[in-house]
Chains A and B, each alone.
Chain A
Amino acid sequence: MWNYIPHTREDKERMLEALGIKSVDELFEDIPKEVRMEKNYDIPGPLAEDCLVRHMQELAGKNLHLGNCACFLGAGVYDHFVPSIVDAIISRGEFYTAYTPYQPEISQGTLQAIFEYQSMICELTGMYVTNASMYDGASSFAESAFMACSATKREKVLCSKAVNPEYRSVLRTYTRFRGVEVEEFGYKDGQVDLEDVKGKLNDKVAAIMIQSPNFFGVIEDLASIAELAHSKGAMLIVSADPISLALLEAPGKLGADIVTGEGQALGNPASFGGPHFGFLAATEKLLRKMPGRIVGQTVDTEGRRGFVLTLQAREQHIRREKATSNICTNQSLCALMGAVYMSAMGKEGLKEVAKLCYNKAHYAMDELVKRGFKRAFNAPFFKEFVLIAPKPVKEINEKLLKEGFIGGYDLSGQYPEIKNGWLIAVTERRTKEEIDRFVGIAGGEVR
């Protein structure tokens, strides 16, 4: 007997009798003999619950986790504070053991929560519409390129080298097979090199794709880039950090046509890179080009407000090969975490988080510069910044790890042109004491 399977021997006998067969094997006789499996899988188990827990604890125990160290590593995933109510809410079986709300009469909980999530994301980004979520920041960035190509009937995009390398890598994979061309342009003092963009922009380009704050933490001049893009009939696609949008102007107000981003910072644990969620928001003009699920408000037969999956004629289960995207299952529960987080932090709380990040990051940078590190760029930044270290970053990070710190991202692999470049993230969770100790250890590496 198995605790997840209810069939007693008598149950099985009764069911087989109802079917007029002697053995369950008869139900599998249409599997050709040459592919029928006669032996057991060579895998471990079964494990009783207590043994499983011990095994899992042992595995988890081999990892150093963020609860036991101070993390100055960001580069796309951030150690932000998550209020306990987030996990309490998403641990409700009514949320996490349901599926896509195909039957609205018994899915209003999920549907309304997504509608609220959509409203909050639109508010932060300054856009007209967003969907119920994408897989992550990288895939939503890549899918937005297809939206722009479809809307402009062009097949090339320009992408900034200051965009997260993971996103650019995913963009390359997605576009390569679909036949969309990607050309990258450079950065100058950590920001988009407008001259380089001008040289590459023409009326074949569907979109200029940037990130702000970008991979270096630097805030981009969205309005200027939007103006440039629109002058050639191209769109502006921005990948944004949602926390930063509490303090930074909504990209929609500055001319962005599509705003995407990684939602992890909104209440999702780092979780070794996933699951998190991607968001994708756009102007009204692009409503019917959106990938994925969208929840809309309507009324029932009694005139009461209710919510449904809407504009489904864009989606794969209706349009098949002509759909705007193949996405079906998304990251709904992670987006719900985002919605609960944004509800908990609210208008003031999100600003406070953003200000704490901003002030602490600037404090850490100032202190490190005092100890002999050089600032790589003078452009304004949000919660992450690049320093030039006096020696290979790997050596400094190793020293820090011994003292219980996870050091910043080593830029030498992706940006060898920034010699000994060190990307440091400081969230609201880092205390002054942690920053001072971090600075002390790192400063000790400067001779």
Chain B
Amino acid sequence: MKKPVELIFELSKSGRKAYSLPACDVPEAGEKIPEKFARKIDARLPEVFEVDVVRHFTRLSQLNYAVDLGFYPLGSCTMKYNPKINEAVSRLPGFLQLHPYQPEETVQGALKLMYDLEKMLCEITGMDRATLQPAAGAHGEMTGLMIIKAALEERGEGKRKKIIIPDSAHGTNPASASMVGFEVLEVKSDERGNVDVEDLKKLMSDEVAGIMLTNPNTLGLFEERITEIARIIHGAGGLLYYDGANLNANLGKARPGDMGFDVVHLNLHKTFSTPHGGGGPGSGPIAVTKELAPFLPVPTVEKEGERYYLDYDRPLSIGKVRSFYGNFNVMVKAYAYILTMGPEGLREVAECSVLNANYLLKKLRDYFELPFDRWCKHEFVISGNRQKKATGVTTLDMVKRLIDYGFHPPTVYFPLIVPEAMMVEPTETESVETLDAFAETMISIAKEAEENPDLVKESPKNTPITRLDEVTAAKKPVVKWDFEA
């Protein structure tokens, strides 16, 4: 079993170094840093040599589970394979070593890539224009809602300060709405797992700015009444926001623009295979209808003849939501992925991800509670409620046991409307053999929960550490290394 790793600070020894820098080839500056501004005590960064650094971080890496190691069915995160070729091409110096303020004539290749990627994303979503500036999904949500608010204010409808969000939505949806100064109205889900259209009608008023929807929703179910919802919202003067977390299921199958959405965000790190990086960087482009295009952040990438340029002269723009143009290097990877797959390949992605999810659900459905019994899309939600009621083994216990068997757990306790929820997203890059092995493991854990509940409650055992005391961590926070200790 892998052992815990000491902290880099514990390896530190005065006099060691892991860098090599050239000697100073200019005279020492005559002008000194004024004493009152100068640092008095050195920052205690570690003093180690190069082998220490390499071994330390390599050993740390070995304590991680990752897509490159195995099945990672983390629902709503689309943990598909991250192609190696995308990493390679993104590291070409002509992409990696560009200063964002270089003269436009020296970055025509980068601007062309952004211009063409915007066109592809617009085609995939059925929208008219896009910005690649937002750095992640939640950042995209915030940007999209700012665009909605700005457009409503421009129309003289600034009183529309409420946003409708389903009770099954990601936490980022209401949090993004708050960031933009919207008040949240929650719409209930119906017995099929869809937005309750009757409840929606009741919530509508001339104070409603619009609705945020994920489709397929966080239960992995397609909103069957989406066109009716769009008519209700538009009919009352509101706008529709599409959370692209689950776009993988729709590739080549249905476009948000055709469903009636006005603003769409995409997660390049989910649908378009760019790596999740242990929590980022992602990229969360926003695509909009032509009516909303004037409000996009500056700059946009435009083309005149054969020349690409950045356009800052957009008077209705909401402004900037981050420095420069977004996570450019992530865009390079997504662009490479789209070109690799092409239109047929992207449709195959949706079909195989949905086939995988339904196949896996079929295998598991007799062993766990199933809150909504329908064809799912790219993911599904089951519940550990049966086991919890029978022997007190919770969903958390069961997924910790899954770790002992070499799998990453699914997303748990989300969506909030399903008790003891397990949200499983296999993605298209997993084989039927992997799905069979995972299903067998889940079934045997369900049996263990019944026959040997303590074994499950005490898992995981085959890990460098066991379950951690999260309560003490929050009550007495230790958030940095104590040099004095």
Contact = CB atoms under 8 A, between A and B. Distances in A.
A115 B481 CA distance: 8
A166 B324 contact: yes
A323 interface: yes
17 contacts: A24-B354, A41-B120, A52-B89, A52-B340, A66-B93, A77-B99, A95-B64, A103-B409, A133-B279, A166-B324, A177-B318, A273-B325, A304-B466, A333-B281, A334-B281, A349-B45, A431-B25
Contacts of B176: 326
Given A41-B124, A380-B31, A406-B99, A177 B180 contact: yes
Contacts of B34: 219, 380
Interface stretch (B232-240, B286-294, B444-452, B467-475): B467-475
A267 B452 CA distance: 50
Interface in B178-231: 178-181, 184, 221-222, 224, 226-227
A349 to B, nearest CB: 4
A328 interface: yes
Contacts of A129: 477, 479-480
Contacts of B399: 103
B265 interface: no
Contacts of A274: 135, 281, 322-330
A36 B343 CA distance: 15
B327 A345 contact: no
B48 A346 contact: yes
A71 B278 contact: no
A104 B281 contact: no
A301 B467 contact: yes
B135 A300 contact: no
A321 B174 contact: yes
Interface of B is mostly: loop
Given A57-B94, A105-B467, 13 more contacts: A31-B224, A41-B343, A42-B123, A53-B89, A59-B112, A77-B100, A87-B91, A96-B82, A99-B77, A112-B5, A246-B39, A249-B37, A275-B327
B175 A46 contact: no
Given A85-B54, A99-B74, A297-B478, A43 B323 contact: no
A293 B26 CA distance: 43
A431 B464 CA distance: 47
Given A138-B323, A358-B33, A432 B26 contact: yes
Interface residues of B, number: 201
B432 A15 contact: yes
A30 B374 contact: yes
Contacts of A311: 474, 477
A92 interface: yes
Interface string A35-54: 11100111111110100110
A59 B124 contact: no
A41 B346 contact: yes
Contacts of B124: 41, 43
Given A41-B346, A334-B280, A380-B33, A64 B432 contact: no
Interface string B252-277: 11110011000000000100010111
A296 to B, nearest CB: 4
Contact of A304 (B22, B174, B414, B465): B465
A332 B346 contact: no
A47 B252 CA distance: 18
A363 interface: yes
A359 B324 contact: no
Contact of A340 (B57, B123, B458): B57
Given A310-B473, A359-B29, A97 B138 contact: no
A73 B467 contact: no
A325 B136 CA distance: 13
